[in-house]
């Protein structure tokens, strides 16, 4: 059986952390260890008293620095990432471990969104291979099981990137190994105001930096897809706030979408 180290970066995670850690230690089979990396929290962390749990403290360095610290200190052959506000469902590790054949470097899974009003239906995407993954990041970090030696080989997470750093790492891994996917909802992704993915402008800039590193004919599909994703988010922000800046971003990133929305509104009226 391959050994698994769970890495949980945490910066003032509040009460969510307790549920996240419990969801990891209660897996069957259990992980070798659960490393909670306290990334300069200003409030005490609440973690369950459990022999598998170890808290590592460091000055504030950002989520990539926290994950990299966990990777360096991990003793397992495989690294499973879990954000402090997300939760694994029973059977998560077992389902993915069955897919980690020697040629597979990374396994992802489906996930569902936990919102203040309930749970949205599950979804997720298979990374496929390097070329397919260039079209856009379909891999959720909290659903990743990846070989530690591959992470070290690609340099782990680029701490200079503040957004889309996970996509950059998965692309580097995909260049060296096969990708697998557990097509079951094994993860609950909690949506709230602090989610980094809500800042569409920074997410778009980060994605463009990643694609520039992998520039070539196959990356063009990624440019189009990223524009569609964040153009739609910009338009949603415009509908909520009516601020013209959001509309201008949407027009720049996905003009066809804005035009279709305008036509639909005119037909309704």
Nearest alpha carbon to residue 192 among 115, 88, 119? 115
Kindly report, residue by residue over 236-261, the tens digit of the pLDDT: 999 999 999 999 999 999 999 888 98
Handedness of CA 259, 263, 268, 269 (dihedral sign): positive
Handedness of CA 36, 37, 39, 43 (dihedral sign): positive
Measured between alpha carbons, how far is 53 from 32 in angstroms, rounded to an integer? 10
**Domains, in order of start, for the chain:** 4-194 (3.90.550.10), 218-268 (no CATH)
Q: Where are the extended beta strands (E) located within 149-192?
A: 178-190
Kindly report, residue by residue over 22-74, the tens digit of the pLDDT: 999 999 999 999 999 999 999 999 898 899 999 999 999 999 999 999 999 99
Kindly report, residue by residue over 199-223, the tens digit of the pLDDT: 899 999 999 999 999 988 888 889 9
Across the chain, what does the average pLDDT equal? 92
Share of the chain above pLDDT 90, in %: 75
* Span of 5-19, 120-134, 141-155, 246-260 with lowest mean pLDDT: 120-134
Predicted confidence (pLDDT) at residue 195 exceeds the cutoff of 60: no
Q: What is the pTM of this model?
A: 0.91
């Amino acid at each position: 059986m391959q050994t698994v180290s769970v890495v949980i970066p945490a910066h003032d995670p509040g009460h969510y952390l307790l549920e996240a850690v419990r969801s990891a230690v209660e897996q069957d089979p259990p992980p070798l260890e659960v490393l909670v990396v306290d990334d300069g929290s200003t409030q005490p962390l609440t973690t369950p008293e459990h022999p598998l749990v170890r808290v590592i403290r460091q000055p504030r360095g950002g989520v990539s620095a926290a994950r990299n610290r966990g990777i360096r200190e991990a003793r397992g052959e495989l690294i499973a990432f879990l954000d402090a506000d997300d939760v694994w469902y029973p059977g998560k590790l077992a389902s993915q471990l069955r897919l980690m054949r020697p040629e597979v470097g990374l396994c992802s899974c489906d996930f569902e969104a936990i919102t203040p009003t309930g749970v949205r239906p599950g979804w997720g995407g298979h990374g496929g291979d390097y070329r397919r993954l260039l079209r856009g990041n379909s891999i959720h970090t909290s659903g990743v099981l990846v070989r530690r030696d591959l992470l070290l080989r690609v340099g782990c997470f680029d701490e200079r990137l503040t957004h889309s750093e996970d996509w950059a790492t998965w692309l580097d891994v995909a260049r060296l190994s096969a990708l697998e996917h557990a097509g079951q909802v094994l993860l609950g992704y909690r949506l709230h105001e602090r989610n980094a993915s809500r800042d569409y402008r920074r997410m778009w800039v980060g994605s463009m930096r990643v694609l520039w590193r992998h520039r070539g004919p196959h990356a063009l599909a990624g440019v189009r897809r990223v524009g569609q994703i964040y153009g739609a988010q910009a338009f949603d922000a415009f509908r909520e706030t009516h601020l013209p800046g959001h509309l201008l971003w949407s027009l720049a990133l996905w003009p066809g979408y804005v035009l279709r929305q305008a036509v639909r509104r005119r037909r309704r009226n």
